[in-house]
Amino acid sequence: MAKVTFDTDVCKGCGLCVSVCPKQVLGLSKTVINKKGHYPAEMLDEKNCIGCASCAIMCPDCVITVER
């Protein structure tokens, strides 16, 4: 079971993580605005996450920690 955590207030909502997720389990929030004023990335479908860390590898702001 993979676990992806976001340091939400550091996220700039660039969407690179969303674009590279092979399982398309991530998205940008439509409801939350973080401290920086962005719609941060969030997990939409945790059970289908494979913990590949592609999202974290493409994240320019070290927002994402991946556990497996």
Partner 1 sequence: MVVFEKPKSLTDAQFHYCPGCTHGIIHRLVAEAIDETGVEGRAVGVAPVGCAVMAYNYFACDMVEAAHGRAPAVATGLKRAMPENIVFTYQGDGDLASIGMAETVHSAARNENITVIFVNNAIYGMTGGQMAPTSLPGQVTQTSPYGRDVKTAGYPIKICEILAALDGPEYIARVAVNNVKNVRNAKKVIKKAFENQIEGKGFSLVEVVSSCPTNWGMTPVKALEWVEEKMIPYYPLGVYKDRSAQEVEA
Residues 6+ apart with CB under 8 A from 53: 64, 66
22/31 with CB nearer partner 1: 22
Cα–Cα distance for residue pair 7/59, rounded to 1 Å:
11
Instruction: State the residues that interact with partner 1 by CB under 8 A.
Output: 10, 12-16, 19-20, 38, 51, 53-54, 56-62, 64-68
Q: How far is the CB of 68 from partner 1 (least distance, A)?
A: 5
3-class state of residue 7 by DSSP: coil
Q: How far is the CB of 19 from partner 1 (least distance, A)?
A: 5
